[in-house]
Amino acid sequence: MTTATSARKRTTYMLNMGPQHPAMHGVIRLQLELEGERIVAVDTEIGYLHRAFEKHAESETWNNVVPWTDRLNYVSPLINNVGYALAVESLAGIEVPERGQYIRVIASEISRITDHLTCVGASAMELGSFTVFLYLIKAREWLYQLVDNLTGARVTTAFTRVGGVKGDLPPGFEEKVLAVFKDIRAAIAESDTLLTKNRIFMDRMEGTGVISKEDAVAYGITGPFLRSTGVPYDVRRAHPYLVYDRFDFEIPVGTVGDNYDRYLCRLAEIEQSMRIVEQAFKQIPAGKHSLEPHEIKYAYELEDMGKHGDTKLIEKYAAKVDQTLDGMGREAFGDIKAADRAVTLPAKEQTYTNIEGLMNHFELVMWSWGIKIPAGEGYSAVEGGNGELGFHLVSDGGDGPFRARCRPPCLYIMAALPKLLVGSMIADVVPTFGSVNMIAGELDR
């Protein structure tokens, strides 16, 4: 296109970057207006991964929404699980036992580390540092194995329940986590050595994608992107939830608000998350002891005992279940779930051995029965990997949300993307977009 100016004619041209471009992850289209290689205008097109999360939620029961939250930010799904559960519990006035709250914190911070490892590693790879990508994704894999051990799944965890969590910490979980943290700190140190003072990396990151703190606040940006401008806003500190007010941790902030500051903030936040988890393990209230092998029976054995009226023997045994149901037995029930039959599923021993427990379970999982949350509406937020992740829920007293609305943190950063890119070069799009940490499931919902 040709634009006339008072002195001369300026020629610009349009260039589509994405959605097929590798750096656009297949889900974002940038229409760039270029003068040479300099960007003079940007139009951002989103919506390539719209999944109708909010409408799906409105057609489900309260607990059945939890698996949908996994797919929002699928790099840190446990934080989504916790955020949604807290929103429902705030409507219902449900208090989760302390041990359950600590387990939620541990799960959330492990998930935050996987999010930051992915963002830093992928951004480094897109700038040519494939070695750092391999180091950090290997570190993420160690954490995924821990998440699998805790929840029974690596990515789509569906770990929380209204009133608690799916199950207690598995045996030896603390020791496994602390051992993995040692290896993660070594991987971070290696990556720091390779990147932080690397002249090529710094040339691509310093002074690019700059946003002022005033603009960041005006756009509603939160998370590491906001903190890179020097604003120390963190939901965990500003509006403490769960037991975050009991931990000693720092909020890393930058000064310039450029891509380099955002890289440094995320790297520092990984260490702070590990500090929180280590403190949580020291503070967490003790749970019930692990049962001896002879105290455990398979579900079908318990069912047969119930049919034969061996009720005294039933009280002696715990149910043996597969990994996806692990931790849902009687021995940990009171420590991780609210003591309210109207909202929490009964222990597996009750479900398997008596009609009252089976009916209680049946009613809670069936449509038009289920959990009844009092009519009303409310908003609850947690600190997600990208910033403030909020859920606004409306209840009409039924067994599922009447209206659901998600506040996705990276949407506001994407709204500011043209401001970050105008005046920069085409090559600057890659590090700037990488520092946004755009997750399409969260962005498009």
Mean pLDDT of 140-161: 90
Contact indicator for 281, 275 with CB cutoff of 8 Å: no
The model's pLDDT over 227-264, given as tens digits with 9 standing for 90+, comes to 999 999 999 999 999 999 999 999 999 999 899 999 99
Determine the angle formed by the axes of helices 98-126 and 130-151, rounding to 10 degrees. 160
Burial call 403-424: b when 16+ CB within 10 Å, e when fewer:
ebbbbbbbbbbbebbebbbeeb
Q: How confident is the model at residue 288 (pLDDT cuts 50, 70, 90)?
A: low
List the one residue out of 116, 126, 133, 24 whose CA is nearest residue 76: 116
Q: How confident is the model at residue 293 (pLDDT cuts 50, 70, 90)?
A: low
- Please provide the DSSP assignment of 3-52 as one string: EE-SSSEEE-EEEEE-SSSGGGTTT-EEEEEEETTEEEEEEEE--TT---
The domain locations on the chain are 65-287, 293-365
Q: What percent of the chain has pLDDT over 90?
A: 40
Please give the DSSP secondary-structure letter assigned to residue 424: S
- 136 phi and psi angles, rounded to 5 deg: -75, -35
- By three-state DSSP, how is residue 160 classified? strand
For the record, the structure tokens of 365 come out as: 């999982």
First to last CA, the chain: 35
- Name the strand (E) or helix (H) holding 2: strand 2-4
| Residue 6 in this model has a pLDDT that exceeds 70 | no
- Please provide the DSSP assignment of 318-346 as one string: EEE--GGGTT-SHHHHHHHB-S-TTTSPP
The model's pLDDT over 54-73, given as tens digits with 9 standing for 90+, comes to 999 999 888 889 999 988 88
Compute the CA torsion angle 177, 196, 441, 415 (nearest 10 deg). 140
The model's pLDDT over 395-420, given as tens digits with 9 standing for 90+, comes to 998 888 999 999 999 899 999 989 99
pLDDT at 112: 93
Residue 398 CB: number of other CB atoms within 10 A?
Answer: 15
The model's pLDDT over 339-387, given as tens digits with 9 standing for 90+, comes to 777 888 888 777 777 777 788 888 888 877 888 888 999 999 999 989 9
For the record, the structure tokens of 362 come out as: 């049946």
Multiple choice CATH, 65-287, 3.20.20.10, 3.30.930.10, 3.40.50.300, 1.10.645.10: 1.10.645.10
Please give the DSSP secondary-structure letter assigned to residue 60: S
Side chain identity at 122, as an amino acid letter?
A: A
For the record, the structure tokens of 93 come out as: 């006035």
Q: How confident is the model at residue 4 (pLDDT cuts 50, 70, 90)?
A: very low
Instruction: Enumerate residues 6+ apart whose C-beta is below 8 A from 329.
Output: 318, 319, 321, 347, 348, 349
